[in-house]
Amino acid sequence: MLEQSTEVYSKIVGKEGYNMELKEFLSKHMDISSRETTRLKKSGGIFVNGEEQNVRVKLRKGDLVKVVFNMEKNIFEPEEIEVEVLYEDEDVMAVYKNPYQVVHTTKKHKSGTIANGIAYMYQKRGINYKIRFINRLDRDTSGILLVGKNSFGQMFLSKQMIEKTIKKKYYAIVENVVEKDEFTIDLPIGRESEDEVKRKVFDGGQPSVTHVKVAKRFKDASLVEIDLETGRTHQIRVHMSHIGHPLIGDPLYGNKSEIIDRQALHSYYIKFNRTRTYEEVELSTHLPDDMKRLVEYLEGK
């Protein structure tokens, strides 16, 4: 009987894994990274047909390969904060982040975060797993957050992020009418000094690519759909401001607004492959209420 502090992932060897070393099978057919394999070896968490095995052993068709992950403990204080779960499987979940919510505790925000809410949800389920955020959103940005429930889930989705196979789309409401229907901004972004909070476009920055498509035009503003090819800090806000279309309500890169008191930015869509089965998962959400009100106001103008 496995303890509650463990998670099991099993796979039967098919003809494609015949005579393959266990280490290679873990990498190619179970997406276990070399770092995770090393960790599993140390913890005695790799089994073939119920017996702990050396990763150099050769596999046969029909062998049952099983890995047992030790679940690290949660470090966040549980708080009764409602968290909307959009999707969940054995290894990952997707949750909805409201505007103004902080993702995890910091020196300035010691409580009231999504992490505290997830810790409470876990507590009600009788578990105490480490909470592993895979993507991040600014405090004032709303939308979809991915969370790893174990090291494998985090590793699997982080790998997709690095390989750019996870697809993310945002809605932004920007100042002024965007003339082109579709275009790409390919300009480097960074900070010229470590002390600066604000990013800017400059030659010494990191490569940054933003794809923009107009969803709706208003009298003096536009609703745009944004597809990020890279994921730099403040990338959308910096790029759109640089081309003369700062996000409405963005005091750092544009101007404050009387209609919305945050930057009008929402991560509304995400697509990724789930662990273990590799099935494609697509999630989308509607505009939050404050951005809906802003659209209604702009339509009225």
Q: Note whether 246 and 174 are within 8 A (CB).
A: yes
Phi and psi at 119, nearest 5°, equal -60, -40
Longest CA pairwise span in the chain (Å): 71
Q: Which residues pair with 6 in a beta bridge?
A: 70
Q: Which two tokens stand for residue 300?
A: 């009225």
Q: Which two tokens stand for residue 7?
A: 């998670």
Sign of the CA dihedral with 153 first, then 155, 160, and 166 last: positive
Q: Could you give the CA distance from residue 32 to residue 24 in angstroms, rounded to a whole number?
A: 9
Q: Annotated active-site positions, please?
A: 138
Q: Note whether 201 and 189 are within 8 A (CB).
A: yes
CA atoms within a 13 Å half-sphere pointing along the CA-CB vector of 242:
20
Which residues are within 8 A (CB) of 21 and not within 5 positions of it... i.e. 6 or more apart?
Answer: 55, 56, 57, 58, 59
Residue 301, judged by CB atoms within 10 A of its CB (0-12, 13-18, 19+), counts as exposed
E strand or H helix at 260, and its extent? none
Q: Could you give the CA distance from residue 292 to residue 69 in angstroms, rounded to a whole number?
A: 43
Residue pointed to by tokens 């070393």: 21
Q: How many CB atoms lie within 10 A of CB 12?
A: 10
Q: Note whether 157 and 166 are within 8 A (CB).
A: yes
